[in-house]
Amino acid sequence: METVTLSSKGQCIIPKSIRLDAQLAAGTELEISWIDGEIRLRPLAKQETTQLSQVSGCLYKPERKRLSDADTQAAIKRQLKKRHAP
């Protein structure tokens, strides 16, 4: 187990051996949480940035029947019930 010292600005250095094991590089975003008396750091998944032009129309299917607003709302409610069912 390694130890670190918190600076006056609230910063600490993650030891190199841990950075290498966890494959952390400069600029890696970490989620920090306080759980049961422990401070936990977890790397956030890298997300590629896309442009709207890259994904626009990806769900369009000419043969798909257009739903009414009422049908859309009913489908959403069904999915929510299904997702939150015990």
What is the three-class DSSP state of 12?
coil
Per the CB < 8 A criterion, the answer to whether 43 and 28 are in contact is: yes
- Rounded distance between C-alpha atoms, residue 16 and residue 4, angstroms: 12
pTM summary value? 0.50
Q: List, for residues 11-44, the tens digit of each pLDDT value.
A: 999 999 999 999 999 999 999 999 999 999 999 9
Q: Are 44 and 30 in contact (CB under 8 A)?
A: yes
57, with CB counted inside 10 A (0-12, 13-18, 19+), is exposed
Under CATH, to which class is 1-44 assigned? mainly beta
* pLDDT tens by residue, 36-83: 999 999 999 887 888 888 888 888 888 888 889 999 999 999 999 998
- Every domain of the chain and the residues it spans: 1-44
What does the pLDDT read at residue 70? 94
CB distance 19 to 27 below 8 Å? no
